[in-house]
Amino acid sequence: MNSKIRIIKSIYHKSKTYCYLKEIKSIIITSLFYKILFNNSAVDIFFENSFLRKIFNFKKNKSKQKTELKFDNFFLTRFFAFLVVFFVALIKTKFITLLILITIIIFFLEIIFKDKKLELKFNLIDISIVFFLVNLLLSSIFVFKIKQSLKVFFIYLVFIAFYFVLKNVLRTKKDLLNILRFLVASGFIVSIIGISQKFFNLVISPGAWIDEKVFSENTTRIFSTLDNPNVLGEFLIFVIPLNITLIYLSKKIKEKILLLLVLFSLLLCMLLTLSRGAWLGLILSLLIFFLFCDKKIFLLILCFLFASPIFIPKSFVDRFVSILSAKDSSSHYRINIWLSCLIMLKDFWLCGIGLGFDNFIFIFKKYAMSASYALHSHNLYLEIFLEMGFSGIILFLLILFFCLKKLVSTDKFSSDKSLFFLKIALLSGIIGFMIQGLADNSFYSYKLICIFFVILALSNIRNEMLKLSIWKKFRLLQREYNLK
């Protein structure tokens, strides 16, 4: 067996792939970016404690007074994983899928030639995701429109594979906080693009996604790089609690001020989406976050909500209150779609209709009531039930249940502040996402599917780190007891 591995290794070292990876590594080390960040100069002093330096794992050689990159077994995989998380909301799905595939290939190459002792551990969340993937495969084969279903399955397969990659390459708390910074930085860029759409009139069809007869004063809904205001709102539900977590964990005043400005941009962007479901999801998310983290701000939010009609423009208040209005045509449209989908479930509840919009459109026409055309069911749970059948919705709910159960589990044996805040941020974000899912199909956007699995991975990693910190504390107490 060892001789075979040596032969494979020798062949790999002579291959073009190895040469390319070696070239990438040498380019990083010899690049101007690296020299600016890691040489002992005036610029180096400026970047000494900067965020950019924290991105990389490095060590100082005190004798030579130089800073050198410390390449661990998964340096390249982690580097590309950070790129994926940063660009997932900014570029097209096909490019994100390609970038993830590159990340997965590098991950397996680094396992083979660097970390042969890597142990893949599975918990209940992982097992549920694997069975969910099997269900996705079945739902993409036995369908009416198999071609598009297989394309959707391939996207799910790549995103779920990336989930397992993240689980195995983010090994330290520093890695976890860095990936949060990348996600928040991406959210900030998305919010700036969205805000510019509003104030520079960059929205192509201002009256889209809104009933102009009911809301004549404010008809422009921004969507930024996510192509839909509701999808943008769902993305911000995940990012805003993570940004607040970084504010609490930051020890520098300048960094806190910067993150507060980012938070203002994210909140303004959320407001301009005019997404009522996303607003409701965010409000509940923030209430949960501050209920556990800062009860004073929790009370301030409650007071602000009651006084909001005084401060917030009437058009925004009317938009939010219209959730219960019978005049809004979009509410009627959704209700008709839901009723039509419930009729469809009577015939397809067991196995589902299959993945993709083509299958939904093809079958929905035969069951549609007054809503003659729809791309999806406008309800996340109803959509999964329709596409994947009874087993699909059960597995999806199990994934959410096991994830929330792990996050809710007690931290009384751990005093790690960062893990506690991260727990509340992920918990509140997932609950907000679930609330929004009642009014819209959150998986309408493939980008949001990827972000969802990234959030699941972060939750899983956080739980593993908590176990490790508790175990270390237990061993320390045991050692002290033995000494006595």
Locus of tokens 């995940």: 238
CB atoms within 10 A of CB 432: 29
What pLDDT sits at residue 60? 43
What pLDDT sits at residue 57? 41
What pLDDT sits at residue 93? 92
Q: Which of 20, 67, 80 is closest to 40 using CA atoms? A: 67
What pLDDT sits at residue 104? 93
CB 459 within 8 A of CB 426: yes
- The type of residue at 226 is L
pLDDT digits 0-9 by tens, 59-111: 444 444 443 444 467 888 899 999 999 999 999 999 999 999 999 999 888 88
- The type of residue at 379 is N
CB 427 within 8 A of CB 401: no
CB 450 within 8 A of CB 159: yes
CB 192 within 8 A of CB 135: no
What pLDDT sits at residue 125? 92
DSSP structure class, residue 327: S
Counts for the chain of helices (H) and strands (E), in that order:
20, 2
Beta bridge partners, 68, equal: 59
What pLDDT sits at residue 9? 63
> Cα angle at 356 between 354 and 360, to 5 degrees?
70
Q: Which of 190, 184, 192 is closest to 259 using CA atoms? A: 184
What pLDDT sits at residue 68? 40
Please provide the size of the chain in residues: 484
From residue 4, alpha-carbon distances to 7, 9, 10, 11, 16 in Å are 5, 8, 10, 11, 20
- Burial class of residue 481 (count of CB atoms within 10 Å of its CB; 0-12, 13-18, 19+): exposed
Instruction: Collect the ranges in the chain with pLDDT lower than 70.
Output: 1-9, 11-14, 16-72, 115-118, 203-219, 323-328, 370-372, 410-414, 469-484
Global confidence as pTM: 0.81
CA 368/CA 364 separation, integer angstroms? 6
